[in-house]
Amino acid sequence: MTVIDANRMHEIETRYPEYFHQSFRQRFGGLMILIATLLYSLYAVWFFDLPKLFAEAHWERVGIYLSQWVSYDVQPEFRIGDDGSIDIRYPRFSPLGDNPNPDWLVNNPDGSITVSISGTSRTVTVSKSETIVTAYGVSVPVDVFGGAPKVVGPVPGWMTVYDDNVLADLGFAGNVSISVDRVKIRKRFIGWANFVFDTQSSFFDKPVGEVVSLIVSGPRIKPDQSNLSLAFDDIWNNSEWQHGDVWTKLFQTIVMAFLGTLLGALTAFPLAFLAARNITPNRLLNQILKRFFDFLRSVDMLIWALFLTRAFGPGPLAGSGAIFLTETGTLGKLYSEGLENIDNKPREGIKSTGAQTVLVHRYGIMPQIVPVFVSQTLYQWESNVRGATIIGAVGAGGIGLKLWEAMRTNANWENVAYMVILILIVVFIFDTASNALRHRLMGTKTH
C-alpha cells in the first residue's frame, strides 16, 4: 500500500486544480440541469393542460382513420316498401359500379335478403317485418313492423338503441343502421377499390388475365385507339384516384423544391462573400447582409408562401418563391460562416504571388468551400422536398394542396394514404441520393 505524504498531496493538487477545487457549477451543474428539466416538464404539463387534453381526445377516431387508410366500404341501403317489397340502393359512385351484383348479397326464397358482413359469422337478414343481425355467436332480431325499431330480447353490448334507429357495431367488418323503413349496411373490404381502373373504364371488374389478354392480343375496344393506349388513359385519368393529377402535382412539388433551392443558392453564394468578414473587410456591409439573411430566415417558409399566394395567386410560382427567400437566408448564413472558417494560408500564398482577387478566390478559397457548400445545398434541397409539401397546403401548389383537399373531405382517407406513401417514397429516394452525393463530395464512405 502506497502512502502519500502532505507534500506529495499538495503537489498533486497544484498540478490538477480542476479536480480538487471545482466551482459550484462544476459540482452541481448536472443536478441543476436535471431539476430544471423536471420543472420545465411540469410547467409544460400545466400550461398545455395535458391531462384534460388526453382525457377529451377522440382516440376512437385514430382506429377509424387508420382502417380507412387500408380499406374501403360498400354501403347498400335496403328500403322497405308499404307492400313489403325490398328495394336495394347504392350510393352514387359506388365502388361496385352502376350495376352491382355482389356475391355476398343473397336473395332468399321467402323474399328476404341476407348480407354477409364477414363470412357466415356476421350476417344481416332483411325482411319486411324484421331484421336479424347475427354476430359474436348470437342472432338478434329487430322488429321493424310499425313504430320505432325494437330489439326483441336482451340488447347486446355491441348494439345501441336510439329513439328512431338501432345501430349494430360489427367491428372492422362494418356496421348496420336499422330504422322503420330502411336498413343501411356498411361492409368493409381490405385494399383500395378501383385503384387501377375506375367504374367508367372498359377494363373495370375484369380479371387480370383477361385484361392482359386484351392489351396484348385482344380485339380493339375502341377502333381508333389501341388497347394498350386505352388502358394507360384509363389508369392516368382514373376519376376516383386521379393518378395523372396526383403525379403531376408530385412532380410540381419536386420542381418547386429544386427551383427554389437552386435560385436561393445562386443568390446566396455571391452575397456570402460580401458578408464574410475575412473576405470583405467592410464591417457595415457584413452586418447589413447578415441581418438580411437573419430576416429571410426568421420568416418561416409557410409565412412566405402565404404572402406570395396573396400577391401572385395560388400555384407553384408562389411555392418556389417561398423556398427561394428562405433558402437565400439559410444558405447565405451557412456559406458566409463557412467562408469565415477557411484556412487563410492557401489564400495568402496565392495573394503573395500578385494574383488578382478573382484568382485568389478561385484557387485559394474555392477548393476549400465547394464540397462543403454543395453538401449543405444538397441537404437543404432534400429538406425542401418535404417543406414544399407543407406550403402546398396553403395554396402554393404541388401535392400538398392535393393532400389537404383529400383530408378536408374527411372521407377519402385511402387517397390520403396513397399520397402520403408517394411522398415518403420520394423523400426516401432524395434522401438516399443526397447522402450518396454528399459523401462522395466530402470524400467519406457510406455505411
User: Could you read off the pLDDT of 399-417 as tens digits, one per residue?
Assistant: 888 888 888 877 788 999 9
Residue 1 has pLDDT above 60, yes or no: no
Boundaries of domain holding 40: 6-47
Residue 221 lies in a domain: no
Its pTM stands at: 0.79
Return the pLDDT at 65.
Answer: 81
408 and 302 belong to one structural domain = yes
Measured distance CA(348)–CA(262) in Å, rounded:
31
Give residue-wise pLDDT tens across range 126-177: 988 889 999 998 999 999 876 788 888 899 999 999 988 999 999 889 999 9
Residue 122: strand pairing partners: 118
Give the pairing of strands 77-80 and 130-135.
unpaired
Q: Dihedrals φ, ψ of 304, to 5°?
A: -60, -40
Cβ–Cβ under 8 Å, residues 140 and 124:
no
Give the count of domains, the chain.
Answer: 3
Instruction: List, as one string, the DSSP characters of 268-337.
Output: HHHHHHHH-TTTS--HHHHHHHHHHHHHHHHS-HHHHHHHHHHHH-SSHHHHHHHHHHHHHHHHHHHHHH
Which of 440, 434, 333, 439 is closest to 386 using CA atoms? 434
Cβ–Cβ under 8 Å, residues 123 and 117:
yes
Measured distance CA(371)–CA(373) in Å, rounded:
6
40 and 89 belong to one structural domain = no
Which of 158, 139, 136, 140 is closest to 150 using CA atoms? 140
Return the pLDDT at 249.
Answer: 92
Task: Give the confidence band of 354 by pLDDT, cuts at 50, 70, 90.
Answer: confident
What is the CB neighbour count within 10 angstroms for residue 380? 22
* Residues contacting residue 395 through CB under 8 Å, at least 6 positions apart: 305, 309, 314, 315, 318, 401
Residue 392 lies in a domain: yes
304 and 388 belong to one structural domain = yes
Give residue-wise pLDDT tens across range 43-97: 999 998 888 888 888 887 787 788 888 899 999 999 988 777 889 999 888 888 8
Cell of 345: 494560408
27 and 88 belong to one structural domain = no
Give residue-wise pLDDT tens across range 205-255: 888 999 999 988 888 888 888 999 999 999 999 988 999 999 999 999 999
Residue 95 lies in a domain: yes
21 and 89 belong to one structural domain = no
Residue 55 lies in a domain: no
Return the pLDDT at 411.
Answer: 75
408 and 266 belong to one structural domain = yes
What proportions of the chain, in percent to the nearest 5, are helix, strand and coil?
55, 15, 30
- Judged by DSSP in three states, 126 sits in strand
Which of 127, 123, 128, 137 is closest to 176 using CA atoms? 123
296 and 402 belong to one structural domain = yes
User: E-assigned strands of 136-207?
Assistant: 138-143, 150-151, 159-161, 166-169, 174-178, 182-190
Cell of 399: 401535392
Q: What is the mean pLDDT of the chain?
A: 86
CATH number of residue 410's parent domain: 1.10.3720.10
42 and 79 belong to one structural domain = no
Task: Give the confidence band of 345 by pLDDT, cuts at 50, 70, 90.
Answer: confident
430 and 301 belong to one structural domain = yes
285 and 406 belong to one structural domain = yes
313 and 257 belong to one structural domain = yes
What is the CB neighbour count within 10 angstroms for residue 301? 23
Report the C-alpha dihedral over residues 110, 111, 112, 116, rounded to 10 degrees.
100
Residue 395 lies in a domain: yes
- Judged by DSSP in three states, 42 sits in helix
- C-alpha distances out from residue 14 to 20, 188, 298, Å: 9, 79, 49
Q: Give percent above pLDDT 90 in the chain.
A: 35
Measured distance CA(149)–CA(142) in Å, rounded:
6
Return the pLDDT at 445.
Answer: 57
Measured distance CA(97)–CA(425) in Å, rounded:
31
272 and 318 belong to one structural domain = yes
Cell of 50: 395535458
Residue 41 lies in a domain: yes
Measured distance CA(328)–CA(384) in Å, rounded:
13
**DSSP conformation class of 70:** S
